Structure 1
Amino acid sequence: MSITRNRSATYADLQAVPPHRVAEIIDGVLVTHPRPAPKHGVAAAALGADLMAPFQWGRSGGPGGWIFVVEPELHIGNQVVVPDLAGWRRERLPRLPDEAYFDLPPDWVCEVASPSTEAYDRGPKRRIYAEAGVAFLWLLDPRSEVLETFSLAGERWLLTGTFAGREDVAAPPFDAITFSLGDLWPFDDAEPAAPSDAP
């Protein structure tokens, strides 16, 4: 994790960050961190896949009506944050922006915890999302294989569920379907690949 504190960070500072790092401006501070570890990336991709079929495309008995984006850059007032996943109800997002960022807060965000981001995910970013009126927040920790789901109640987050291991998940705003949390850790039960005899 790299933090720049000498002055209030600008968008030009953020744009100057090398592309192999994720950059955010949180409470005036430029914060950068490395791209996610493989277990983090696999869990985020699997969660997106579990949600997109029923809620974006209306498949598998889902209602459709959502748009999901991986690592969108969100401009919320002076804050620039990058959640791992975000979703908008289609009636609120009739078209994608022309810019490389969103200034319309999403309806749902998911942060996937890692050692370099967890303090921000559970601290200032939770506050930023609440102040912006994001209705739902999920915090996913691939290391402990735990998903916590929250709904915004006034200005505070209300814990609506905690799921662990391979439990079935049905949580707002996506409680129209159930998926296995175990989908997010596909290597837990995997057998080691047999050695190849090929030269």
Structure 2
Amino acid sequence: MGQLAEKPRRATYADLEAVPPNKVAELIRGVLHVFPRPAPRHARAASSLGIELGGPFDHGKDGPGGWWILDEPEIHFPDPTSPRDVEVLVPDIAGWRRERMPELPETAYFPLAPDWICEVLSPSTEQVDRKEKMPIYAREGVQHAWLLDPIQRTQEVFSLAPGRGWTPIATHRDAARVRAAPFEAIKIELRVLWAT
């Protein structure tokens, strides 16, 4: 008679904390995902988008203000598969409306789901971003999501539809000038996001 396979141990927050600082780690349903730091095209897209949104939305310079726009925030969500545990996601950029989160938390992480996230896709992260993280963002009520692909030079825009999950709104390419929810108050020139 064959032996039963031993059930894999669930990763914990302690496992995540033990990951070297030159890596990005996330904890999804008890599985630790460890990725290399972003490659130059990825970093360029995320940094440039943060610059484009930070002035008008975070600082209110030539725009409406009212947002916190942050790079790589650590966000904690309850793990529905294990009530004692958390899921830890680190979007490339996230935004909170200040009316929902008037002050930044004192913790090293964010316990409140953002209003918007942006994931910058890379060959090593795309499957986890699309298949693992996007459903969690929807479950937790994130209202808007963007997926940037700096290799394909695309921006995919999604909005959360109650009871239906993510609804694709548009896919923009190359050097398009874009007004995309929730930041339609300004036009973003996608060409500035891509390394040239």
TM-score under structure 1 normalisation?
Answer: 0.89
Within 5 A, what are the aligned runs for 1:45-64? Answer: 45-60=47-62, 62-64=63-65
In structure 1, what is the Cα distance between the partners aligned to 2:13 and 2:130?
Answer: 24
- The unaligned stretches of length 5 or more in structure 1 are 189-199
- Aligned residue for 1:118? 126
What's the Cα RMSD here? 1.1
User: How many angstroms does 1:112 deviate by?
Assistant: 0.2
1:72 equivalent to 2:81? Answer: no
Structure 1 residue corresponding to 2:140, chosen from 126, 132, 140:
132
1:167 equivalent to 2:180? Answer: no
In structure 2, what is the Cα distance between the partners aligned to 1:16 and 1:57?
Answer: 35
3-state SS of paired residue (1:110): strand
User: How many angstroms does 1:24 deviate by?
Assistant: 0.5
3-state SS of paired residue (1:123): helix
- Aligned residue for 2:17? 15
- Aligned residue for 2:32? 30
In structure 2, what is the Cα distance between the partners aligned to 1:23 and 1:99?
Answer: 18
User: How many angstroms does 1:28 deviate by?
Assistant: 1.1
Moved over 3 A (4+): none
- Aligned residue for 1:103? 111
User: How many angstroms does 1:58 deviate by?
Assistant: 1.6
In structure 2, what is the Cα distance between the partners aligned to 1:175 and 1:14?
Answer: 36
User: How many angstroms does 1:6 deviate by?
Assistant: 2.4
Number of matched residues? 182
- The unaligned stretches of length 5 or more in structure 2 are 1-6, 79-85
In structure 2, what is the Cα distance between the partners aligned to 1:28 and 1:140?
Answer: 27
Q: Percent identity?
A: 54
In structure 1, what is the Cα distance between the partners aligned to 2:26 and 2:151?
Answer: 23
3-state SS of paired residue (1:122): helix
- Aligned residue for 1:42? 44
3-state SS of paired residue (1:119): helix
3-state SS of paired residue (1:14): helix
